[in-house]
Amino acid sequence: MPIHCVVNGVAGASLDLFDRGLHYGDGVFRTLRLEHGQPRWWREHLAKLADDAIRLGIPCPDPTMWQADLASLGGRPGDGVLKILLTRGTGPRGYRPSERAQPNRILILDPAAPASDAWPGHGLNLRVCALRLAAQPALAGIKHLNRLENVLARAEWDDPEIHEGLLLDAAGHVVSGVMSNLFVWRSGELRTPRLDQSGVAGVARTRLLRLAAAAGFSVRETEISLADVLAAEELMVCNSLIGLRRVARLGDRVWPESVVSARLAGLLDA
């Protein structure tokens, strides 16, 4: 089955050349799993999309509109990866957002399983990226369309044995993976980097923080250094496609066996 696209409810694989998503990266997006035709964690993804849009001043359609767009993809019953983009719409040249702009909704359904499904179950192999994330509180946490830092970081390696890269900020704090959020287990506490300066606060991360706390785990958003990561008893990454995965290796540091990741992965997927 080919990749299927819908723009503002209409099937089609092209976009208006004046869309501000292209010109300025002026928009937000989501990437999620479709299971038996149903988007996983759908309500949470739509809520996060709306939160991100609000922070950029982009009016976000309500969930019924997205549900209709999803239906217009053809009611496909299978599995796959769904990407949703919301841009500020088209407008005249210039950075100034037009008040008359109508946001554009884009849905892209890829029925192929994500490449990460083939990653080893016993743990991932990570590297530390050279690129340092910039500190920008006005954009931190938002999954917006300005992703050149991630592109440049991902371009640093082409070794297929390396699954993910660790991103630090200019101050030396660990922020996230290139396409995932990070969790550190140590001394009976589950910690994840605070994302008030850079990074994307993903839905899987938010779910895990909530569900682990509800299950009695001590959880905390905090500053985390590379030394903290290396001292972890267990290191994990998560996103909406891979779920929660344990890290088996980061450079020379090896974590030979699971401590809490299996239980946490179960909480996340519940």
**13 is an interface residue for a copy of itself by CB under 8 A:** yes
At residue 116's C-alpha, the angle toward residues 128 and 169, to 5°, is 25
Per-residue string for binding with a copy of itself, 122-141, x by CB under 8 A? ---------xx-xxx-xx--
Q: Is 152 helix (H, G, I), strand (E, B) or coil?
A: helix
Residue closer to a copy of itself, measured from CB, 127 or 147: 147
Applying CB under 8 A, which of residues 49, 101, 153, 224 lies at the interface with a copy of itself? 153
**64 is an interface residue for a copy of itself by CB under 8 A:** no
Q: Is 141 helix (H, G, I), strand (E, B) or coil?
A: strand
Per-residue string for binding with a copy of itself, 236-265, x by CB under 8 A? ------------------------------
Name the one residue in this structure whose structure tokens are 């959020």. Answer: 181
CB of 80 to a copy of itself, least distance (A): 11
Is the separation of the CB atoms in 165 and 251 below 8 Å? no
Q: CA-based diameter of the chain, in Å?
A: 56
Is the separation of the CB atoms in 208 and 172 below 8 Å? no
Residue closer to a copy of itself, measured from CB, 147 or 210: 147
Applying CB under 8 A, which of residues 96, 159, 216, 270 lies at the interface with a copy of itself? 96
Alpha carbon of 83 to those of 20, 30, 140, 148, 173: distances in Å? 18, 6, 21, 18, 29
**113 is an interface residue for a copy of itself by CB under 8 A:** no
Tell me phi and psi for residue 119, to 5 degrees.
-70, 150
List residues binding a copy of itself (CB under 8 A). Answer: 5, 7, 12-26, 29, 31, 56-57, 81, 83, 85, 87-88, 93-97, 106, 108, 110, 115, 131-132, 134-136, 138-139, 144-155, 158, 170, 178-179
